[in-house]
Amino acid sequence: MTGFLQNTFNGLVSGAFYALLALGLAVIFGMLRVVNFAHGAFYMLGAFGAYVLLSEAGVPFWAALVIMPLGLALLGMALERAVIHRLTRLDPLYNFLLTFGLTLILQDLVKTRYGVQSSPYATPAELSGSVDFGLFDFPTYRVFILGFAVLLCVAVWWVLTRTRIGMVVRAATERPELTRAFGIDVGRWVTPVFGFGIGLAGLAGVLAAPMRAVNPLMGADLIIVIFAVVVIGGLGSIFGSVAAGFGIGLVQAWGEAYLSEFPIVSQTIVFVVMAAVLLWRPAGLFGREEAPA
Amino acid sequence: MTATVDTEAAPARSGLLAVARAPGWVRYALLAAGLAVALWLPNGLYPAVAVDILCWALFAVSVDLLLGFTGLMSFGHAAFWGTSAYLTGLVAVHAGLPFPVAVLAGAFGAAALALPIGYLAVKRTGIYFAMVTLAFAQMVYYVANEWRSVTGGENGLQGVPRSLFGLDLTDDYYFYYAILPIVLFGLAAAWRITHSPFGRVLVGIRDNPARARALGYPVHRYKLTAFVLSGFIAGLGGGLFAVGHRFVSLDVLHWTTSGKAVIVVVLGGIGTLWGGVLGAAVVVRLEDWLSFSGFEAIGLVTGGIFVLVVLLFRRGIWGSVAALVLRWMAARRR
């Protein structure tokens, strides 16, 4: 029982990363119809930025947790204005290719400057140690991540459903022309929403720095898993993306624990789930059917 | 693709039709020139580079068959290229069969893999299709990485022989001419597919899936058939690539390989078929030159090409040239 709870907890923690990344991807897709391949690269930049800030400027984790997401959000907004914006009127495939190219560039820039080896990042002192839950204890840092991610998801949900900005964003996502016809300037929100999504990826990166190996390729394979996650949840559905993120984290952790004689399972189970979802509900668990094609 | 019409790519796609409308002698002249270049190539380049160009040409054409003629962007074609590379290598190493037989076995294996992946992937369209194929290709990558006893894992599969009835093909120059017929067969097959009634239906599905369905065409089945055929051609290229390098590494299955295949097609010109061949020649030559001059960060260049081509050159080489030539011909007629 204790083992099961521990696995479940670890699954939720890795699911929290999936959820944060999928959330940013879904928000950006909703507003811009852009599937941002570079999302994993921005996650990597978040983690790497935190590492460089600490090792070269002595900036602590808590400051990095604010600086990196804001900085990356600004970078994202600049990129949106400079290039992505030029292609949003075309088939979304072009922006997919563009952000793929950006991914290769960002990865190689970091690689040529810092090499490919992984760098350690110390857990902040306030969050080291573990929390005793009676039956078992968990590393404080992981408890913090889980709480923080859930809080963030709830906050985003609150903003989207309970504020005027959220209302505009949701309306623009579902019916852009009609929203414009009501006299709402949809274009005004495009760049900030893109920056926000990128900021979330950067934030996830900073959170990951003390837990995962920090290296230039840490976001590369992750982004593909995130794509599978959003296909499972339904990219159009923000709730679906977050739920699928946590769900896949759980399934992976359980697979790893109870099918440990097959190490391949934990890596591929997400794709098996995706295949099942495509068979059963092609639009994703929480997605709506696309226009018939 | 989604039902929205992609106005930007339309001129690029009509590139093929434009050439098809060019007078007969122009087409035959182009074909003859193309064959002449193919026969001359290893005399002008390093033969090893020429071999790579041939393999990548098949790969690009297989991707264009889906992207340009069916409206499906596969971002996971490395799965078929790489699976065939491994299968070809395994057959050649363990069975000692002539390399064309091994390559054929690899290509059929790739087509067999394309069947289930395609069956699932064609349930989605547009950007989702790209994500789904990418995800399944990554799954194949993980399996190959984990299945070390067969694939050699990160060490790769070594010592793939170039056997062909006792002929000595160790020299890349002669090997080039040994594989040229297979490559031409693959290219001709792609041309035949796109110019058949079946290919016309594919283009119809690309341009207006709803109407194709209303006319009674089983859209999913057409897409799946195109996907499997494309997997087979990609497999031909991948198998030859394995024999050409006498070595298979995990790179052949990596997602960057899938992405490179797509950008080769975009650079050459989406929906132009031969544009992919040109794109392959440019990219392979460029990467060879970069690695020869000791440039480390190839990703910077490949990524830069991606960004520039997508931003400024969406018609691709073939599409741009075809548009220029047609404009010139139209002006002369007036």
Domain extents for chain B? 10-333
Q: What is the mean pLDDT of chain B?
A: 84
Average pLDDT over residues A154-182: 84
Enter the ipTM. Answer: 0.87
Q: Which residues 6+ apart lie within 8 Å of B269 measured at CB?
A: B12, B15, B275, B276, B278, B279, B315, B316, B317, B318, B319, B320, B322
Average pLDDT over residues B292-311: 82
User: For residue B228, what pLDDT band results from cuts at 50, 70 and 90?
Assistant: very high
Q: CA nearest A239: which of A28, A40, A26, A43?
A: A26
Which secondary structure element, helix H or strand E, spans residue B312, and what is its range?
A: helix B298-312
B307 touches chain A (CB under 8 A): yes
B9 touches chain A (CB under 8 A): yes
Is the pLDDT at B5 greater than 80, yes or no? no
- The DSSP code sequence of B39-97 is HHHHHHS-HHHHHHHHHHHHHHHHHHHHHTTT----S-THHHHHHHHHHHHHHHHHH--
Count of Cβ atoms closer than 10 Å to residue A285 Cβ: 17
Angle between helices B197-207 and B172-194 (to 10 degrees): 70
Is the pLDDT at B19 greater than 60, yes or no? no
Average pLDDT over residues A184-202: 88
pLDDT tens digits along B107-135: 999 999 999 999 998 888 888 888 889 98
What pTM did the predictor assign? 0.87
| C-alpha–C-alpha distance, residues B169 and A222, integer Å | 42
Query: What letter would DSSP give residue A122?
Result: P
Is the pLDDT at B11 greater than 80, yes or no? no
CB contact under 8 A, B123 and A92: no
Is the pLDDT at B7 greater than 50, yes or no? no
Q: How far is A102 from chain B (nearest CA, A)?
A: 6
Percentage of chain A exceeding pLDDT 70: 98
- The residue that leads in pLDDT, A290 or A134, is A134
- The residue that leads in pLDDT, B164 or B183, is B183
Give B209's contacts in chain A (Cβ within 8 Å).
Answer: 292-293
| C-alpha–C-alpha distance, residues B109 and B214, integer Å | 34
pLDDT tens digits along B145-177: 888 777 777 777 877 777 777 676 777 888 888
Please tell me which residue of chain B has the smallest CA distance to A227: B131
Task: Determine contact, residues A204/A20, Cβ cutoff 8 Å.
Answer: yes
The predicted structure's pLDDT at residue B332: 77
The predicted structure's pLDDT at residue B2: 38
Average pLDDT over residues A21-46: 90
User: For residue B58, what pLDDT band results from cuts at 50, 70 and 90?
Assistant: very high
| Identity of the residue in B123, B262, B296 whose CB atom sits nearest the CB atom of A97 | B262
User: For residue B60, what pLDDT band results from cuts at 50, 70 and 90?
Assistant: very high
Give A278's contacts in chain B (Cβ within 8 Å).
Answer: 120-121, 123-124, 132
A10-19, A126-135, B3-12 — most confident range: A10-19
pLDDT tens digits along A181-191: 888 887 788 89
User: Beta strands of A10-166 (E only): which ranges?
Assistant: 130-132, 137-139
CB contact under 8 A, A292 and B213: yes
* Residues B10-333, CATH architecture: Orthogonal Bundle (1.10)
**Domain spans of chain A, in order of start:** 2-217
| C-alpha–C-alpha distance, residues B74 and B257, integer Å | 12
Q: What is the mean pLDDT of chain A?
A: 86
The predicted structure's pLDDT at residue A119: 79
